[in-house]
Chains A and B, each alone.
Chain A
């Protein structure tokens, strides 16, 4: 298995270079280094000299991908792409275009993101699996039918509706928790209760319906019939056999997102005032800060690849027939 993991890590390098190149190309198709400079310097009284100085100070005065003034390897290394990308592979994110350290921001913003994303993930998983099991248990009854209808209705509603509705109902009308804000430690509970609840409820529709199909598929299999024929209770059938075997497809979708939980939620963090990496990314896109966008896309790619690797490893844990070679 170790050889497999090492091989996968090496496979990741060209993928990351490709992702980085794509991000770079997409960003600079829309924004020129001059645009970035103007965005940082503002629009009032900005002279061309100031633009040039700003670009030179931050290394944006070089060619994008190929420096024709240089010979040999320097034609590639003396470019914006190389200078801004090479250090990423040792996780040195450098400074944002406004001069502030990206590594420092990631290190501080990661925790608020996790504080929101982790409970949403765990509680959401528990709730979704429970509801899906219930619907599967009562399959072909009114409970199952109306459960599916409710799930379809819930997944059709925009996530924004849950956020705004939750804020209005829970925080404004009933005054139970703050509308937005964040605090570290135990004080964070009152700020996170609503966004976590909203995140969980917002994900129930799609999650429960999805897991229900896995459970139903498993319940139609021969081994379940055998288990029932042996005289096991429905409870035992569901929890000891169906749930365990349905875990493989569930793991496919679940484990892959675990590392990306660090990246935070783009919308929830903005609405609930949680200073995580999601809102950091949104801010960077709005302010056209290429350094941050590039770092966050790179981080996202690394974490996603890590997630895929973890998924593969988790298969071996839940299904002894699978071996990674």
Chain B
């Protein structure tokens, strides 16, 4: 009799979920709004352009700040184009007497280069209280007392905002900030070598800052960080001048063509003095995090309106942004891929970008599959679910992904991962023939094709030298093959047989992996950062590669700090390291093998401490040249020398795999720039439809569990009732009555 009612209840509960999504992590009021949903795993350490350097941070800073230049969104190889400038500046070369030289003047004659950077007029900053003015036209919030700040914890707590036009002096101000002792900019060391006067400015600022802080501490006690303000406008920077309100000039020592690439990085973004002044008021930092490092101020397409790096960060469209037209041309195939549909339309297309923090891979991946993230990378754990490798070795989407309309975009990163030999080590180091042959033998023995297949799910291409594809100087095909390690067979590189490696090892004095003088087995030591049992398979694989040559590989696992310390001290033999390009120029990779950059000797970036005088001489020649056949010829020579010397086993260049949903438009991987969010577009109607389709709640399992629990508790209830009614022992009731009567 009760069954029909029960069934009806089931049906009602099951229907209750229809049409309504229960598992959405976003407010219902945001449905159909032009919002891009993405995630971040590490909280950004810095959002101040003088300090921020990592690609994670660039996800935010690149949308907010506008350095003078940027990379073309679609074109490859990467091409610099104006961001806020009227054109890409060209260097004017001068000799020591100050005479203008032709553009092709020999590097040796160039004493300095000058860049005149013309800013486009009419560019406005985002609304910010630092620009707010009162009725008299005076700054509203630049002379606040502690009492004024007491109830302020967010930028939104300041009721008034303002804006002003971007001026050349803002760019100059930021360049001076690179020398400020309180910011410790990571590129100060490098830039002080090039920008005229920057080193001297840093010395002056250090001295003055110390005095200002000491005076303040004496009078009021220890100041909070960032306070008091040091007005950088008053300081002279001899190499950087404001020419007029929209032009500034940078003088660089010698010829340094890579300088314009730095002009596309946030280090050179404009900072208005008002913002610096605003945040440097007493009490802004202490306990409030009201700093430029927390609440950036820029002219870019987006502004940071919510900064809660524990949970989420929100970028909203900058209402003062001028609008930037979507590019009208790209590389071949872009039109067919639908990447030119929005050509000429002004971006940004998305009103808001919500970054949610996801520290763990499983929830992140599942939320992407549910449609709550618009794009995703692929971790090793999810690779098999997302991608299948066809018989030709090409990556394609799995059926599940295809059914959901997800698309896959791959690109080879401008980065390299390698095994380095420490040149200071007596066994594997030095330019001696013995050591060189030992390194070459190891280079052949380590099968990177297998490594990529097993440990990187095929996401990478074996390295043939220091340069990755996409960088000028890289050669593809037969021309680019590393003849020390590979043979060119049937139009493809083929790793040399292990016998070739054994022969080289024998010639190096270690026949069959034993020292021919002592007869002792050859033992090599690999320093590595091991994080746990998960690394065992990888470390065993390394051992097996060396065992092919009967070389015993001892793994010296350590933590990251000790590992770095050993490399700095040159106390390693073999170690793995990687490099991500700062800019798409061969100098940014070739300098990793420059002797003058030795990590152990000069704390430079040449961690292998490799030093070959011929290579170094060619590097000095190549680094300041413009791209062309002459430069290519020198690069070819350098690559040949490096391959012969084999200071690295040329590991592999990782491939980036990115997934995006069908409603995401205009996405194209860009390994050099992160400021492309202004061109992303979202088909919100399609997204809403798919989310509703994929996330219908299933209520009946919960009802079933509840029913099971109720049914399961019935015997317990019955048992309880039975016990309640039960006498202490059989016949007990009668016996007690008898006892009462007799008493």
Give the interface of A toward B (CB within 8 A): 30-32, 35, 38-50, 53-54, 57, 95, 98-101, 103-105, 108-109, 112, 134, 137-138, 141, 143, 164, 167-168, 171-183, 187, 190-191, 228, 233-235, 270-273, 275, 279-280, 283, 287-288
* Closest chain A CB from B364 CB (angstroms): 8
Given known A-B contacts A100-B294, A175-B22, A181-B356, A47 and B697 have beta carbons under 8 A apart: no
Which of A30, A143, A164, A175 is within 8 Å of B719, CB to CB?
Answer: A143
On chain A, the residues within 8 Å of B696 by CB distance are 175
Listed residue (A41, A134, A167, A279) with the most chain B CB atoms within 10 angstroms of its CB? A41
Q: Once bound together, how far apart are the Cα atoms of A57 and B225, in whole Å?
A: 9
Q: Smallest CB–CB gap between A59 and chain B, Å?
A: 10
User: Bound state CA distance, A31 and B22, in angstroms?
Assistant: 46
| In the complex, B308 has a CB within 8 A of chain A | yes
- Contact status A40-B45, CB under 8 Å: yes
Q: Nearest B residue to A164 by beta-carbon distance?
A: B362
Q: How many residues of B contact A (CB 8 A)?
A: 67
- Would you give the shortest CB distance from B601 to chain A, in whole angstroms? 12
Give the CA-CA distance A45 to B45 in the complex, in Å.
17
- Chain B 287-306 against A: per-residue CB contact (8 Å), 1 yes, 0 no? 11101011000000000000
- Interface CB pairs A-B, < 8 A, 5: A35-B561, A42-B54, A45-B189, A167-B366, A234-B724
Stretch of B138-146, B179-187, B441-449, B611-619 contacting A (4+ beta carbons < 8 Å): B179-187
Q: Cβ of B27: which chain A residues have Cβ within 8 Å of it?
A: 183, 187
Is B363 in contact with A167, judged by CB distance below 8 angstroms? Answer: yes
B582 contacts which chain A residues (CB < 8 A)? 44
- Known A-B contacts: A175-B22, A178-B367, A270-B360. Give 18 more (CB < 8 A): A31-B561, A44-B582, A50-B184, A53-B184, A54-B184, A95-B285, A99-B285, A104-B153, A112-B311, A134-B716, A143-B715, A174-B699, A176-B23, A177-B22, A179-B367, A181-B311, A235-B724, A275-B357
B184 near A179 (CB under 8 angstroms)? no
Q: B37 to chain A: closest CB distance in Å?
A: 11
The distance from the CB of B172 to the nearest CB of chain A, in whole angstroms, is: 22
**Contact flag A175-B362 (CB < 8 Å), given A44-B186, A98-B46, A104-B288:** no
Given contacts A41-B186, A50-B189, contact A176 B22 (CB under 8 A): yes
In the complex, the answer to whether B363 meets A175 with C-beta atoms within 8 Å is: no
CB-contacts of B688-743 with A (<8 A): 695-699, 701-702, 715-716, 719-720, 723-724, 728
- Does B559 make an interface contact (CB < 8 A)? yes
**Smallest CB gap from B52: residue in A:** A42
Contacts of A39 in B (CB 8 A): 561
CB proximity of A301 to chain B, nearest CB, Å? 23
B186 partner, pick from A46, A103, A112, beta carbons under 8 A: A46
**A275-B310 CB under 8 A given contacts A176-B698, A178-B24:** yes
State whether A177 touches B184 (Cβ < 8 A): no
Whether the Cβ atoms of B46 and A174 lie closer than 8 Å is no
Report yes or no: A175 in contact with B189, Cβ–Cβ below 8 A: no
Report the bound CA distance from A31 to B715 in whole Å: 60
CB contacts (< 8 Å) of B285 on chain A: these are 95, 99, 101
Cα(A95)–Cα(B284), bound, Å: 13
Kindly state the separation between the CA atoms of A40 and B42 in the bound complex, as whole angstroms.
13
Count of A-B residue pairs with CB < 8 Å: 166
Q: Which residues of the other chain, B, contact A235 by a CB distance below 8 angstroms?
A: 724
Q: For the complex, what is the distance from the CA of A57 to the CA of B189, rounded to whole Å?
A: 17
Closest residue of chain B to A56 (Cβ to Cβ) is: B181
Indicate if B359 sits at the interface (CB-CB under 8 A). yes
**Majority DSSP secondary structure for residues of A touching B:** helix
Residues of A within 8 A of B181 (CB): 53, 57
Assess whether B54 is in contact with A38, with CB atoms less than 8 Å apart.
no
Task: Report chain A residues within 8 Å CB of B720.
Answer: 137, 234
Partner of A180, one of B293, B294, B367: B367
Contact A176 B25 (CB under 8 A): no
Q: How far is the CA of A250 from the CA of B304 in the complex (A)?
A: 49
Given A175-B21, A177-B23, decide whether A49 and B189 contact each other with a Cβ distance below 8 A.
yes
Q: Is the CB of A181 within 8 A of B189?
A: no
**A84 CB to nearest chain B CB (Å):** 14
- Rounded to whole angstroms, the CA-CA distance of A103 and B224 in the bound complex is 14
Which of B186, B363, B564 has most A Cβ within 10 Å?
B363
Task: Report yes or no: B310 in contact with A279, Cβ–Cβ below 8 A.
Answer: yes
Which of B54, B190, B716 is the one whose CB lies under 8 Å from A143? B716
User: Is B683 in the interface zone, CB < 8 Å from A?
Assistant: no
Contacts of A53 in B (CB 8 A): 181, 184
Minimum Cβ distance to chain B for residue A159 (Å): 14
Once the chains are docked, how many angstroms separate the CA of A30 from the CA of B558? Answer: 11
Interface presence of B684 (CB below 8 A):
no
Kindly state the separation between the CA atoms of A180 and B362 in the bound complex, as whole angstroms: 10
Residues of B within 8 A of A50 (CB): 184-186, 188-189
Name the residue of chain B whose CB is nearest to the CB of A178. Answer: B25
Alpha-carbon distance between A44 and B25 when the two chains are bound, in angstroms: 37
Max chain B Cβ within 10 angstroms of own Cβ: one of A47, A105, A112, A164: A47
Residue pair A45, B360 in contact (C-beta under 8 Å)? no
Residue of B nearest to A277 (CB): B310
B25 contacts A41, CB within 8 Å? no
B263-297 at interface with A (beta carbon < 8 Å): 285-289, 291, 293-294
Given A48-B603, A57-B182, A174-B701, A271 and B363 touching (CB < 8 A)?
yes
Q: Contacts A48-B603, A57-B182, A167-B366 hold; do A174 and B702 have CB atoms under 8 A apart?
A: yes
Q: Is the CB of A180 within 8 A of B24?
A: no
List the B side residues contacting A271 at CB < 8 Å.
359-360, 362-363
Cβ of B358 and Cβ of A273 under 8 Å apart?
Answer: yes
Contact call A270/B359, Cβ cutoff below 8 A = yes
B575 on the A face (CB < 8 A): no
Asked if residues A174 and B697 are in contact (CB atoms below 8 Å), the reply is yes
Rounded to whole angstroms, the CA-CA distance of A116 and B363 in the bound complex is 18
Among B289, B356, B372, B603, the residue within 8 A (CB) of A104 is B289
Q: Is B605 an interface residue (CB 8 A)?
A: yes
* Contact (Cβ within 8 A) B698 A272: no
A31–B286 Cα gap in the complex (Å)? 26
| Shortest Cβ gap from A256 to chain B (Å) | 27
Cβ of A234: which chain B residues have Cβ within 8 Å of it? 720, 723-724
Complex alpha-carbon distance, A105 and B288, angstroms: 10
B43 close to chain A: CB less than 8 A = yes
Contacts of B605 in A (CB 8 A): 44-45
User: What is the CA–CA distance of A109 and B309 in the complex, to the nearest angstrom?
Assistant: 11
